[in-house]
């Protein structure tokens, strides 16, 4: 594929993914606000100059902007991401707004404001469940390989720990293992970390301890990552593919979403506490790179234009499910400029019976901004290192 075609696909795929997950996130806030009687002054799909806009019967202005990279919802009285009004500011707002204060976000009970805030990440999780359930219903589940060891590489961490062919791994660090892919998922992001493996060998259950070996792994696009490897393989028998009905498909969607939430949250906690390398953190550049790689490989895998288009949409929608989980989790971090930070403020207000002072909120905002920018710098550094590894 030409460089121009690759660039176009990358941009299209990135915009497609970001637009879906961010707009759904903001719609979660919007619908929760409607349920609680909060007036939404505007809902924007994208940023920048307005291309088209209209006002609905509730008085909300809906707009389509020039740069389709997400969007936002603006509630009546919304003070922005930096702070929530303190008691003095609230009184001033109430006097100025008069009767309209009843439709203002800030004068709703704490539980309603918390619900509206949490509804954005919740919408992302619902989107992920819906995507994984729909794909399972349409195409069947992921290929299933039982968590049984088929091969053990000589001199590998698995061999040194005493793993044998035929061992069935039941849990890793008390996290249940149901399929061989679960083993890979638990191991790859923990290079060098000592892990406890609960193993069934014959009629007995034993405990083996081993640390995955840090291994530089090149992908099909020429980039490389340092991942954990144990040195054992799965059985050589062909994997099974499950079929689903609407009920079991939803269960599959919930299970897959929960697995992504669990793994991502545990990795982020370990990064923040300094227990694992932040090498696997990705930012916007990394998302764009993954989107472009997924798009190009999908198009090239098709035998004709129609097949390539179908593969492109399927794989991008599947990637949107994982990105939606990531966005939901990031927004729940207890950082003041994020949804999770507002939930912390509401928890304080519920206990203290008054909002946190504007001065304390402003300080929290600055600290949170520094933390988020720091993580973005680390993620962007990782993304650039990966891209440079593809070139040199």
> Catalytic site residue 26?
yes
Angle of CA points 212, 213, 215, to nearest 5°: 125
DSSP result, 140-161 = --PEE--SBEEEE-TTSHHHHH
Which member of 26, 84, 186, 213 is catalytic? 26
Nearest partner of 119 among 17, 35, 43, judged by Cα: 35
Q: Digits of tens for pLDDT over the chain (392 positions)?
A: 666 667 888 888 988 899 899 999 999 999 999 999 999 999 999 888 999 999 999 999 999 998 887 889 999 877 554 456 666 777 777 777 777 778 888 888 999 999 999 999 999 999 999 999 999 998 877 778 899 999 999 999 999 999 999 999 999 999 999 889 899 989 988 888 899 999 999 999 999 999 999 988 776 666 677 889 999 999 887 776 688 899 999 999 999 999 899 888 888 888 877 777 777 788 888 888 888 888 888 888 888 888 888 888 999 999 999 999 999 999 998 888 899 999 999 999 999 988 888 888 888 888 888 888 888 888 888 878 777 766 65
- This prediction's pTM: 0.85
Residue 250, both tokens: 């939803």
Pairing of strands 224-229, 240-241: unpaired
């Amino acid at each position: 594929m030409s460089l121009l075609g690759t660039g176009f696909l990358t941009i299209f795929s990135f915009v497609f993914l970001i637009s879906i997950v961010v707009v759904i996130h903001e719609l979660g806030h919007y619908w929760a606000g409607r349920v609680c009687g909060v007036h939404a002054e505007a809902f924007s799909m994208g940023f920048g100059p307005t291309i088209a806009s209209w006002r609905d019967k509730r008085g909300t202005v809906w707009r389509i902007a020039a740069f389709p990279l997400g969007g936002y919802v603006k509630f009546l009285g919304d003070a922005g991401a930096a702070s929530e009004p303190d008691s003095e500011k609230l009184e001033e707002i109430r006097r100025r707004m008069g009767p309209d204060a009843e439709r203002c976000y800030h004068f709703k009970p704490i539980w309603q404001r918390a619900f509206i805030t949490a509804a954005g990440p919740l919408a992302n999780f619902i989107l992920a469940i819906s995507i994984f359930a729909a794909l399972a219903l349409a195409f069947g589940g992921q290929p299933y390989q039982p968590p049984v060891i088929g091969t053990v590489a000589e001199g590998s961490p698995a061999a040194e720990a005493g793993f044998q062919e035929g061992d069935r791994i039941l849990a890793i660090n008390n996290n249940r293992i149901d399929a061989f892919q679960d083993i890979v998922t638990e191991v790859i992001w923990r290079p060098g970390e000592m892990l406890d493996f609960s193993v069934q060998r014959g009629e007995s259950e034993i405990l083996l301890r081993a640390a995955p070996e840090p291994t530089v792994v090149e992908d099909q696009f020429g980039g490389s990552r340092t991942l954990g490897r144990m040195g054992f393989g799965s059985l050589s028998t062909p994997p099974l593919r499950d079929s689903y009905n609407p009920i079991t498909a939803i269960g599959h969607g919930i299970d897959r979403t929960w697995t992504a939430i669990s793994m991502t949250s545990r990795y982020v906690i370990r990064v923040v506490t300094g227990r694992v390398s932040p090498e696997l953190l990705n930012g916007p550049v990394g998302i764009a790179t993954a989107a472009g790689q997924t798009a190009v490989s999908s198009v090239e895998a098709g035998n004709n234009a129609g097949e390539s288009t179908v593969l492109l949409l399927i794989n991008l929608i599947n990637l949107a499910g994982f990105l939606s989980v990531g966005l939901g989790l990031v927004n729940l971090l207890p950082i003041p400029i994020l949804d999770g930070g507002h939930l912390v403020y509401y928890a304080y207000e519920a206990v203290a019976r008054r909002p946190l002072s504007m001065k304390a909120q402003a300080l929290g905002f600055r600290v949170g901004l520094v933390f988020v920018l720091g993580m973005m710098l680390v993620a962007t550094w990782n993304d650039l290192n990966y891209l440079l590894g593809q070139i040199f």
